[in-house]
Amino acid sequence: MDTPSPEQPPAAVADAATLCRELRALLPPGAVLSSPSELAPYECDGLSAYRQRPLAVVIPRCVEEVQAVLRLCSARGVPVVARGAGTGLSGGALPHAAGVLLVMARFDRILSVDPAACTARVQPGVRNLAISEAAAPHGLYYAPDPSSQIACSIGGNVAENAGGVHCLKYGLTVHNVLAAEILLMNGERLTLGGEGPDSPGYDLLALLCGSEGLLGVIVEVTVRLLARPPCARLLLATFDSPVRAGAAVASIIAAGIVPAGLEMMDGLAIRAAEAFAHAGYPTDAAALLLCELDGTEEECTGQLMRVESLLRAGGATELRVAADEAERLRLWSGRKSAFPAVGRLAPDYYCMDGSIPRSRLGDVLERIAVLSSEYGLPVANVFHAGDGNLHPLILYDAGKPGELQRTEELGEKILAFCVEVGGTITGEHGVGVEKLGAMCLQFGAAELERFHAVKEAFDPAGLLNPGKAVPTLARCAEGRRMHVHGGELPFPGIERF
């Protein structure tokens, strides 16, 4: 199934052979791939429902090589899509049919760790977890920890403004990055941010975080490291309904407690995660909360007692505190592998990423349950309950005709409800190609126009990752999805597959 990539503006279709010859002249042997068998594995990132083979894949090793590629592509009018570890879940690194896929995986060196300033300077292809591993001897770590942290790269984290299970207390990528070196599409090198607390002029670093590779190619990142808290206690609580668990979450926050992580899984997800990780989850529970408290020994103990009594008052059916570090890590391992573990339940899953005000958690979960049974598609819920970021996973079988379309329709209804209750269509995975349609639910024409103009300020020719993250106005108008009220949407369904 070759999926026509959505909304890619017509680029001057370069003669592939000529382009590859020119690229080969710029790069060392083995750094340019162009045969069909070599391109196929690059046709998708972590979201394999969208696939598109690029004209060529390049895997440079140094900034000068990236600059050379960008300058050539600028001159030839060839689109460029940057890619890190290819673990993104919104198709942000989906190649462009007439473009070059710029793979940054070989930029995998940690350049320096400064234990006094608590910073690390790294190349963009360094894996998220590798930063914490390098910082560990100094008692430091890098706080944002997306579930894919073992594999995802920091460049991708910045481009997507990745979150994770601990961002309730420690923030998203944008809060933990101090500086980024980027290349504009014309090859110009700029430093955004710096090692100081701020920089003169506009905060372009904040703008870069979450810009999904549309503004510049990240070639170096300086991150902030934190002191590892001396104590972390993990509490597991089960509930007989997800709604009740949602209410318990709100009660913890209302009490002025900011847990390091507050995660929730429903019955389906619990069973899938347990089957993989053998984390010791009670598989008969309807909902499970993982609440991590960290800080000094005293802080943890005090908060633990308060949280326990709140959860008990909230109707927890079982409460368990991880006895030791091994059990704590085991309980987390189930949560961290929950997405792929759900892959065991059905041939395919569709992962949503809506974010809502915490107080509406119960309503939204109920609505998802109703929609799920309406569509006859099971939905497993795995999410960051503490910050209201939902990850409903719709289970389906792409092999069954029409099921993907129905899945998408269900997904869009869920997102529409998230927007309706004051939330957003994507909390951390990004828009990519996958949520282009849903963007029309959230933004009006004026905002979308400004987004396009911001891109133009960075990339006048529109060659960097074109067609992603921001839908064209025409698309939104065509779908008549702009300014939706009441959550009921017309679903003419623009052809996306």
**Backbone torsions φ then ψ of 48, nearest 5 degrees:** -80, 0
Point out which span in 5-13, 74-82, 296-304, 307-315 binds other proteins (CB under 8 A).
Answer: 296-304
Which residues, numbered 81-140, are part of the site for other proteins (CB under 8 A)? 85-87, 103, 105-106, 108, 114-118, 125, 127, 129, 138-140
CB of 24 to other proteins, least distance (A): 15
Question: Closer CB to other proteins, residue 36 or residue 490?
Answer: 36
Question: Closer CB to other proteins, residue 283 or residue 301?
Answer: 301
Question: Closer CB to other proteins, residue 10 or residue 196?
Answer: 196
CB of 277 to other proteins, least distance (A): 8
Burial 180-200 (b: 16+ CB within 10 A, else e): bbbbbbbbeeeebbeeeeeee
CB of 152 to other proteins, least distance (A): 8
CB of 322 to other proteins, least distance (A): 19
Which residues, numbered 365-404, are part of the site for other proteins (CB under 8 A)? 384, 387-389, 398-399
Residue 327 CA: distances (Å) to CA of 225, 231, 334: 25, 14, 11
Which residues, numbered 451-480, are part of the site for other proteins (CB under 8 A)? 451, 453-454, 456-458, 469-470
CB of 4 to other proteins, least distance (A): 17
Three-state secondary-structure class, residue 100:
strand
Q: Which two tokens stand for residue 336?
A: 């961290």
Return the residue matching tokens 């927890």. 316
Rounded Cα distance between 439 and 351, Å, is: 16
- CA 421 to chain centroid: 22
Question: Contact 67/183 with Cβ under 8 angstroms?
Answer: yes
CB of 285 to other proteins, least distance (A): 21
Which residues, numbered 408-427, are part of the site for other proteins (CB under 8 A)? 422-427
Point out which span in 19-27, 36-44, 62-70, 477-485 binds other proteins (CB under 8 A).
Answer: 36-44
CB of 181 to other proteins, least distance (A): 13
Amino acid at position 265, single letter: M
Return the residue matching tokens 């997507």. 160
Rounded to a whole number of angstroms, the distance between the first and last alpha carbons of the chain is 9
CB of 488 to other proteins, least distance (A): 21
**Backbone torsions φ then ψ of 290, nearest 5 degrees:** -115, 120
**Nearest residue to 246 (alpha-carbon basis) of 254, 274, 295, 271:** 254
CB of 23 to other proteins, least distance (A): 15
Q: Which two tokens stand for residue 450?
A: 């400004």
* Options 295, 315, 378, 462; binder of other proteins; rule CB under 8 A: 295
Question: Contact 283/266 with Cβ under 8 angstroms?
Answer: no
Question: Closer CB to other proteins, residue 446 or residue 474?
Answer: 446
Rounded Cα distance between 345 and 348, Å, is: 8
**Nearest residue to 291 (alpha-carbon basis) of 242, 256, 257:** 257
* Options 4, 9, 28, 230; binder of other proteins; rule CB under 8 A: 230
Return the residue matching tokens 């110009």. 188
Q: Is 280 in the site for other proteins (CB under 8 A)?
A: no
Which residues, numbered 65-84, are part of the site for other proteins (CB under 8 A)? none
Which residues, numbered 249-278, are part of the site for other proteins (CB under 8 A)? 250-251, 253-254, 256-258, 276-277
**Nearest residue to 413 (alpha-carbon basis) of 467, 369, 359, 477:** 369
Q: How many residues bind other proteins (CB under 8 A)?
A: 133
Question: Closer CB to other proteins, residue 12 or residue 63?
Answer: 63
Q: Which two tokens stand for residue 92?
A: 């942000």
CB of 420 to other proteins, least distance (A): 12
DSSP state letters, 107-156: ---EEEEETTTTEEEE-TTSBHHHHHHHHGGGTEE-----TTTTT-BHHH
Question: Closer CB to other proteins, residue 22 or residue 387?
Answer: 387
Which residues, numbered 145-204, are part of the site for other proteins (CB under 8 A)? 148, 150-152, 160-161, 163, 167-168, 171-172, 174-175, 184, 188, 190, 194-204
